[in-house]
Structure 1
Amino acid sequence: MTKISGIGFHHAGLASADLERSLKFYIDGLGGRLMRSWGEGKDRIVMVDMGGGAVLEIFANGAAAPEQNGRFIHFAFQVDSPDEAYGAALCAGATSHMEPQDMELPSELPCLIRVAFVKGPDGEILEFIHQK
């Protein structure tokens, strides 16, 4: 039971040093869909639907943003094939952070996953995960 009526995850925000490069990466490279945008130039903001309820709000002029990302350490995307997502991300300009591999999470119930990590255009870490 939640304490806040109707609460649910809406989006994650990303400060981009090059908005067009980020849009090309997330839309053309990873298959996201443009939801809406507003503002112009350094004040432009774009919402990208990544599927499965994952939405990124990408802000232009991220070069002026602090480099720290607070306590968030990565964005995770559920995918059918981490290997294919990893390859698509690399082709779109990402750099490898961890090649695809199988892992068993040390939880109370067995949990087998396949996972891969890349760094996006602004150094953001993206995880591609599939639970087996």
Structure 2
Amino acid sequence: MTAPVPNLGLDHIALRTYDIDASVRFYTEALGFRFAHEWSAPEAGVNRCVFLDAGDDRVIELFDAASTPPGGSARNFDAEPRPSDEERARAATLVHFAIRTEEPAALFQRAVAAGARPLMTPARIETKGVTAMTLEVGFVYGPNGEVIEFIKRPRLQQS
């Protein structure tokens, strides 16, 4: 028998931002994240970074446009012309990230009112497979072109 993997769960998602202050406002004021910490590490290519607590100590890490975080492109993130939201989404490895909520439509509307661009209006989806589920999901483009999903789903069964 092998030893269990010391995986404590997803810790954070990192995003580069065009305007870090506007991104902090969007995630805190529109989506309810809590400002947790701000830091820099110039020797590691980080000019300015902000941790926003998504709840349960799960974090979105926002880097400013001047930073080149580990795994990030050395390309000037604020160079013109900026790619469209669709171009960024098609070229990204991370397809989207999801925020769990009991009210996807309400959070979708708050995001759009705060400047997010609608991608898919919240709708119910019936899944098929080993275990069928009913989901309610909606998607927006966030302030940096990131695709954000708002999802209501049942908890997954533990095996």
Q: State the distance in 2 between where 1:65 and 1:13 align.
A: 14
CA deviation profile, 1:6-35 (whole Å, cap 9, x unmatched): 442110100001101100100111110011
Q: State the distance in 1 between where 2:26 and 2:129 align.
A: 34
Is 1:58 the counterpart of 2:59? The answer is: no
Three-state SS of the structure 2 residue aligned to 1:28 is helix
Q: State the distance in 1 between where 2:9 and 2:24 align.
A: 25
TM-score of the pair, normalised by structure 2 = 0.73
What stretches of structure 1 of length at least 5 have no aligned partner?
none
Structure 1 19/2 Cα, relative in aligned 2: closer, same or farther at 3 Å?
farther
Percent identical pairs in the alignment equals: 30
Q: State the distance in 2 between where 1:93 and 1:19 align.
A: 15
Three-state SS of the structure 2 residue aligned to 1:98 is strand
Give the paired residue count: 130
Q: State the distance in 2 between where 1:2 and 1:13 align.
A: 30
1:1-132 matches, cutoff 5 A: 4-39=5-40, 43-61=47-65, 64-65=76-77, 68-69=91-92, 71-131=93-153
CA deviation profile, 1:62-120 (whole Å, cap 9, x unmatched): 68249543x21001011010000100101111010000100011221110011100000
Letter in 2 for 1:80: E
TM-score of the pair, normalised by structure 1 = 0.87
Q: State the distance in 2 between where 1:49 and 1:27 align.
A: 9
More RCO (CA 8 Å, sep 6+) = 1
What stretches of structure 2 of length at least 5 have no aligned partner?
67-74, 79-87, 155-159
Indicate the structure with greater strand content: 1
Q: State the distance in 1 between where 2:4 and 2:17 align.
A: 34
Three-state SS of the structure 1 residue aligned to 2:121 is strand
